[in-house]
Amino acid sequence: MEKVKFIYNPHAGDNYIVDKLDEVIEVHQKNGYFIVPARLDENMDMASAMEDIHDHYHHVLIAGGDGTVDILINYMMNRGISLPVGILPMGTANDYAKYIGIPKDISKALDRMFTLEPHWMDLGKINDRYFLNVASTGLLTDVSQKTHSELKNAIGKLAYYIKGIEQIPSFRKIPVKITSEDGNYDGDMYALLVFNGRTAGNLDFAYKSKADDGLLDVILIKANLKEFIPLLGRLLRGDHLEDPVGLLYFQTKEIFIETSDELIVSDIDGERGPDFPLHIQCIPKGIQVLGVDKTHL
């Protein structure tokens, strides 16, 4: 019987996974797999959870939010571990899992993993770190970093909106220089998002993105108040890329980002990212993912 490493964060989202542990084990055993669990906490980090990984493992199953999944992906990529990954979305946003069609219902998610073929998906890389969904910088892009985990668990996505509203008075122009083969910009902005996935905070920003096409989708929101107000309406309607007034949009394999603003930080799927300057690139077919619904891509 092949082994499956099962790593879960008991505190992610609403602690839903804790009540579903037996189901996870049962479904795997019925399909001929032996679960080896690891519970993430202050005494069990990702490195400890993965230290016994070897060739006899069939895949890695991770239950957590976008940030927890990114930690796993970084561990695997840095150590050359190429096992398929199954994702049980347990966070507040779960942007990447929703993008690839993984339901939050445990039974349905597991069923997808055992009925659909594994699919090779692209990865993003920002400096020396990897990400699945989005790397961003600028205003409002670090909302998740500044939102306390207890507030996220208590009121879910509403916590992001509350924290975002708190930051509106701090809106200011940010100087940035972007260089790539497919688009360049040297001027002021409010925010920059570089997508491997499609959504951020459940908002469908990069709806033309495909996470298996070898390209990143770049969206820069320009610092022009006259254009910014109507752009907000288009963002909410989800048609901003069809009439890109107020923003710069293009697809590329890699991008270089510089800024003279020492206060600005980068964000990777809700977690603090590396310092500037930034080199963001697409790693084509970087990881094999279980349960991908190709109709969502």
The proportion of the chain whose per-residue pLDDT surpasses 70, expressed as a percent, equals 89
Per-residue pLDDT reduced to its tens digit, 92-136 = 778 899 999 999 999 999 999 999 999 999 999 999 999 999 999
Q: CA 285, 66, 233 angle in degrees (round to 5)?
A: 95
Per-residue pLDDT reduced to its tens digit, 156-197 = 444 444 344 455 546 678 999 999 999 999 999 988 999 999
Q: What is the mean pLDDT of residues 7-24?
A: 87
Q: What is the pLDDT of residue 180?
A: 97
- 2-122+287-296 placed in CATH 3.40.50.300: no
* Residues facing residue 120 across a β-bridge: 288
Averaged pLDDT of the chain:
87
Residue 153 has pLDDT above 50, yes or no: no
- The confidence band for 15, taking pLDDT boundaries of 50, 70 and 90, is confident
- The confidence band for 5, taking pLDDT boundaries of 50, 70 and 90, is very high
Closest CA to 296 of 198, 196, 194, 157: 198
The CATH number that domain 129-285 falls under is 2.60.200.40
Tell me the backbone φ, ψ of residue 237, rounded to 5 degrees: -80, -20
Buried b / exposed e across 52-81, counting CB within 10 Å, b at 16+? Answer: ebeeebbbbbbbbbbbbbbbbbbbbbeeeb
Domain residue spans in the chain?
Answer: 2-122+287-296, 129-285
Q: Say which amino acid occupies 65.
A: G
- The confidence band for 226, taking pLDDT boundaries of 50, 70 and 90, is confident
